Structure 1
Amino acid sequence: MKKKINLRIWAALCVLIGGIILTWITYNSTSLYHHEDIAVIQKNNFSDTLSHNTKDIYQNHDQVRLQKFDIKVLSGKNSGKVYRLTNTYSPSQLLTQKYRPNDHLLIKFIRHRSTISTIKRDWILVALGTLTLCSIILIAGKHVWALLVSMTISWGIFFALISLDIQTHSFHNILLYGAGTIILSFLALLIVQGFNKKMLVTWLSTLIGLFTSFFLCYLVMKLTGNSQMMYDNSDFSNQDLQGVFLAQTLLSVLGAVLDESTDIVSSLSELIIHNPTITQKEILKSGQALGKEIMGPLINVLLLIFIASELPLLILYLRDNSNIVDSFNYSLTLGLTQTMVAAIGIVLTVASATGCSLLFFKKEDKK
């Protein structure tokens, strides 16, 4: 046991060292971008001064600040040249960006004049990926390869679905993403658990909970005529706004339902294996108890994730003196609908996972 723990620590340490080196290389790399050049902000002649104060009709106060700095181009045909730039920003940084000395930038040249595209952030992704991989190694051990392969395949399927959606102009996108969730959940469970009865039972219970909750959502939306569904206030730049929303709901519910179904089926299968004389009533009570332990935290996690993502927009509406009802309709309606559908799916999955475990794992005759 100690050898396994030590092996995990050494593996995580090696990944951490390699990740730090890769992060440093990515931070200083200038050859990864072909359509944009890399530049760095110089410390010398850097200034940040107040231009003027602003106040809107709602008495919200802000500032407009002016930055002047030199940038040194690190790549492209203008490599080595120094340019003087100005930048106007507000401390709130809602629509503007504040720059600091030593920031690496992505720049473009338009008619021999340099313009900033954005800050070079690729090294941040590498650093976060390193920390994530180290955490997975410490927790999962030798199963890390299965998890990484599963994540890679899931990303591949996800981008394939998006590509097909774009090529078909969102025609029948619900069928497209519905088929995608079936394939994605099957491959994810197959890689992590292997092809066995427990994997198939988990997959079946996941699909039952997922599509039952989705069907209820679709039925209610049809019966109510999509009342109060503010699709026009969403970020969907697509003609079929309802279809994109339903596809997004389908994918969001899948994550929660798959997690819960895996926990319940795995626990009940181990319980039946170690206690073959367990009765059907005891299995049902055990599944119900597991569901009670999982449902509350899982629904709260989904709700908090949604609230965290929409909090800036909600604060913006409220600060502009919008009433609570309008702020709710403009920023929270769609997200809360998805959260409720996921909550219904979580509740239904308790029944489907317990029922499937009882049906396929317990061999005694049903009374």
Structure 2
Amino acid sequence: MMNVLFLLAVLLFLLMVLIGGKKGARSFISLFLNFGVVLFTVFIMTDPNGNPIIITIFACTAISSINLFYINKVNSKTVTAFISTVVTITILIFFIYIVTKKTMIQGFGEEEIDELNVFSLYLGVDFVKIGAAVIIMSTIGAITDVAISITSPMREIFRHHPSISRKELFTSGLTIGKDILGSNTNTLFFAFIGGYLALLIWFKDLSYTFGQIVNSKIFSAEMITIFSAGIGIALIIPISSWINAYYLVKRREKSEGN
């Protein structure tokens, strides 16, 4: 197994460097940096004195910084993408926490209990906050990806049409976002189907009805994660478009004033 993982990692590295050059190499290294952030987050999240949501916010900030500033360096498109990501995540935090608490998807489902009977579940942590933290962490990658996918072409549009108005630039950002909204949302859905196909087959073997599947805690938790990520993708489009348009035009007006 280790040999296969090593060979796949080498193959991925070679392809990313061959296609992406130095940026591809930084993207490959960022995978391990993000993995390290996640491991560190999980380690300190088990501390009963810590707040999982606050810890996750710092983790998402670190992940966003790695994905934006380390890979693409510090420039106008990454700065506005980072600000947009922080604003969107802040909005989502309250929404996700309320949804997690109301739907009671925290903890483990019935299908997982048999495997956990030998362990104690009295860990001294708030499983509602843990559940919300998991969903927040699951959305950060998609939100960051959409943010940079909007701010980057907007900067190119502004560079080729420096006299464009703020409203026209904002509209261009929305148009770009509309083109990637559907594909990114469907990517999240198929990622769920691929990861939980075995679970769906198990549900069929257990003769679960459609209602039982939908009300299953495992299924509901994953679908809520997908919907939350989809909401985040939808929110980041106007937020990043407006912030980027405001920043670029403001910088132009400031340079003209000087």
Could you list the runs of 5+ residues in structure 2 that have no partner in the other structure? 254-258
Q: Which residue of 1 aligns with 2:37?
A: 157
Higher helix share: 2
Distance 1:165 1:327, change over 3 A: same
Distance 1:220 1:244 in 2: 13
Distance 1:216 1:175, change over 3 A: same
Q: Which residue of 1 aligns with 2:186?
A: 300
8 Å CA contact retained: 1:173, 1:244? yes
| 2:242 aligned residue (355, 360, 363) | 355
8 Å CA contact retained: 1:210, 1:254? yes
Distance 1:170 1:255, change over 3 A: farther
TM-score (norm 2): 0.85
State the AA in 1 paired with 2:199.
Answer: L
Q: Which residue of 2 aligns with 1:213?
A: 92
Task: Quote the RMSD (CA, aligned, Å).
Answer: 2.1
8 Å CA contact retained: 2:173, 2:237? yes
- State the secondary structure of the residue aligned to 2:196: helix
What is the CA distance between 1:198 and its match in structure 2?
Answer: 2.4
Which structure is higher in RCO with an 8 Å CA cutoff and minimum separation 6?
2
Aligned positions of 1:14-93 closer than 5 A: none
Aligned positions of 1:223-302 closer than 5 A: 226-227=102-103, 229=105, 231-233=107-109, 239-302=125-188
- State the secondary structure of the residue aligned to 1:208: helix
Distance 1:283 1:169 in 2: 47
What is the CA distance between 1:228 and its match in structure 2?
Answer: 5.6
Number of residue pairs aligned between Structure 1 and Structure 2: 241
What is the CA distance between 1:354 and its match in structure 2?
Answer: 0.3
Could you list the runs of 5+ residues in structure 1 that have no partner in the other structure? 1-120
Query: In the alignment, does 2:80 pair up with 1:201?
Result: yes
Higher strand share: 1
TM-score (norm 1): 0.61
The structure number with the bigger radius of gyration is 1
What is the CA distance between 1:193 and its match in structure 2?
Answer: 1.9
Distance 2:40 2:100 in 1: 28
Query: In the alignment, does 2:55 pair up with 1:176?
Result: yes
Q: Which residue of 2 aligns with 1:340?
A: 227
Distance 1:162 1:232, change over 3 A: closer
Larger mean Cα displacement after TM superposition, 147-156 or 265-274: 147-156
What is the CA distance between 1:263 and its match in structure 2?
Answer: 0.8
Distance 1:190 1:333 in 2: 35
8 Å CA contact retained: 1:213, 1:342? no
| 2:9 aligned residue (104, 120, 129) | 129
Identity across the alignment (%)? 23
What is the CA distance between 1:221 and its match in structure 2?
Answer: 4.3
Query: In the alignment, does 2:64 pair up with 1:185?
Result: yes
